[in-house]
Structure 1
């Protein structure tokens, strides 16, 4: 019996371990927290170096007069670059066009995405295939998607849109069908259609996840109590979808403010379709004005934040109105 008790008696190594644990638990709270977070410091330093330092560099250059065509005239210029951005009529139009394009595409893609999500959330034969096909536009390379819309759909000579109009005119027995050139007469609409086609699947996926997370027993109870489809949607589904709609609007605003591929491929910034990212490209690579381009880049970041917050505010007001 004595031998057994001696076998389970804590030895010197175990005693030292317990003593170290007790001493560690008695350290100040701040020191204990730092010891836990210390392994995360390399990741934090890496994130700062590769995400924040480039923006800080851009911010510094935005306060400089720096044009590669005049290397000897480089120097600090204060807020003059930002004054040029706000005072230049073309750049002001660029900001307005960016807001119009972003708002149009976000609202339209969210409405269409919600409609498609409601449809594919129901059970029917081939639902999986339909869902996969609806997601495909978002998986297409943005440049390829823009070229597809420019040549296969919107081309005034052989595009699908004008071909469909011609076929309808012939069926109706009418002569001289209209052949609109949408990218020339309504470039904002043409660009918006291509972006809505690409971003609607993204919104559909987010909103479909929200629809599938609804408690089924609550919806069944509402149906038993006599709630119609519209009543259930307005007072139960829509409030439940609030966070998903906000998420879709936030991500859509952030990414669409930075849209470059569609502008470059469809209109090359012509006909008043230059948005902020394309203006940065033209100022940096064509005008070689690094200071002004950096100021525009900072404006893009600020504009992204403002438009995202505006989108969230609009969505919040819509939900408040629907709850009344």
Structure 2
């Protein structure tokens, strides 16, 4: 027979109980164990994204590092034997280049002018389209159409059909009112490019603002109307603060895309007359593929990328700060 033993009172008093529970059961994990578990969970969730991250690094950061390497060398395609390491000499030459400063100023004027004018027009059109009227869906479709066109087609349309000094639509309208025809792309090259860009980007701003208008709580608008607030007071005090995030997002995206404009300048003005309408992307193209100066063009590209990153980071901080504000 098998003897069955039990812990007596003396055994329990002496602490000799048969505790068969697993080690660590019944106690809370330590801070180190919680941190280790959190790290493991974080890596488990990030692991599927690693291939995409590696691909992004390969196709973006590796070319940028190669560009930095070229910017530190004197490399001209017409003189292969002149490939020498010159350090920051290309950057010094850029700082002394008056054409580069003019191209940078043109980039700022074209970018800010296009984004601000397109945003104002987009707000006006969005307010009009937010009201119900017959044919509203048709009007929305027609107003969105310019944004759906390719930039090259947009530039050709404005250069040939609208701004042509001989048979352009704009000069025809001027002659109807008894005014003299103007060679727009020669006399006002920057304004010509701005008109084409504003026409293309206004629908994008309109769509963002229209989404913000339709996301407004209707009960707040009804309460403002019952309190006797007029249209302008309601717009300035309720609607405009509600649209702030959408406006900031539209301005940020517009700056990022418009600052890289190349098609319109290449087709409409070719940077001319001279370099009067050249922006930074077009001037970099001229230095690289017309002047064959790879080193200086690479240095310009590095400067433009760093400046764009700084502007984008400041704008993103502003947008994220507005999202963190509790309404």
| TM-score, normalization by structure 1 | 0.83
Which of residues 35, 39, 53 is equivalent to 2:44? 35
More displaced stretch, 224-233 vs 29-38: 29-38
Change (3 A) 1:113 1:36: closer
State the Cα distance separating 1:311 from its structure 2 match: 6.9
Partner Cα separation in structure 2 for residue 184 and residue 311 of structure 1:
35
For the Cα contact (< 8 Å) 2:186–2:272, is it kept in 1? Answer: no
For the Cα contact (< 8 Å) 1:249–1:308, is it kept in 2? Answer: no
CA RMSD in angstroms, aligned pairs only? 2.3
Change (3 A) 1:26 1:65: closer
Partner Cα separation in structure 2 for residue 233 and residue 210 of structure 1:
13
Partner Cα separation in structure 2 for residue 313 and residue 53 of structure 1:
26
| TM-score, normalization by structure 2 | 0.82
Which of residues 205, 208, 213 is equivalent to 1:211? 213
What SS is found at the alignment partner of 1:66? Answer: strand
What SS is found at the alignment partner of 1:156? Answer: coil
Q: Does 1:231 align with 2:233?
A: yes
Partner of 2:75: 66
For the Cα contact (< 8 Å) 1:249–1:312, is it kept in 2? Answer: no
What SS is found at the alignment partner of 1:273? Answer: coil
1:295-310 matched pairs, under 5 angstroms: 295-308=299-312
What SS is found at the alignment partner of 1:74? Answer: strand
Kindly provide the CA deviation profile for residues 215-265 of structure 1, in whole angstroms up to 9, marking residues without a partner as x. Answer: 111111111111110001101111111111100100111111100000000
State the Cα distance separating 1:208 from its structure 2 match: 0.7
Partner of 1:150: 159
Change (3 A) 1:235 1:26: closer
Kindly provide the CA deviation profile for residues 20-63 of structure 1, in whole angstroms up to 9, marking residues without a partner as x. Answer: xxxx9996443343234223222211121112211121122111
Structure showing greater Rg: 2
Partner Cα separation in structure 1 for residue 256 and residue 61 of structure 2:
17
Change (3 A) 1:114 1:126: same
| Structure 1 unaligned spans of 5+ | 1-23, 170-176, 316-324
Q: Does 1:159 align with 2:168?
A: yes
For the Cα contact (< 8 Å) 2:164–2:183, is it kept in 1? Answer: yes
Change (3 A) 1:314 1:38: closer
Partner Cα separation in structure 2 for residue 112 and residue 144 of structure 1:
22
Change (3 A) 1:84 1:25: closer
| Aligned residues between the structures | 286
Change (3 A) 1:267 1:289: same
1:3-14 matched pairs, under 5 angstroms: none
State the Cα distance separating 1:179 from its structure 2 match: 0.9
Change (3 A) 1:107 1:309: farther
Partner of 2:186: 184
Which of residues 268, 279, 284 is equivalent to 1:275? 279
For the Cα contact (< 8 Å) 1:106–1:253, is it kept in 2? Answer: yes
Partner of 2:94: 85
For the Cα contact (< 8 Å) 1:151–1:159, is it kept in 2? Answer: yes
Q: Does 1:118 align with 2:127?
A: yes
For the Cα contact (< 8 Å) 1:258–1:300, is it kept in 2? Answer: no
Partner of 1:195: 197
What SS is found at the alignment partner of 2:81? Answer: helix
For the Cα contact (< 8 Å) 1:162–1:180, is it kept in 2? Answer: yes
| Structure 2 unaligned spans of 5+ | 1-32, 320-327
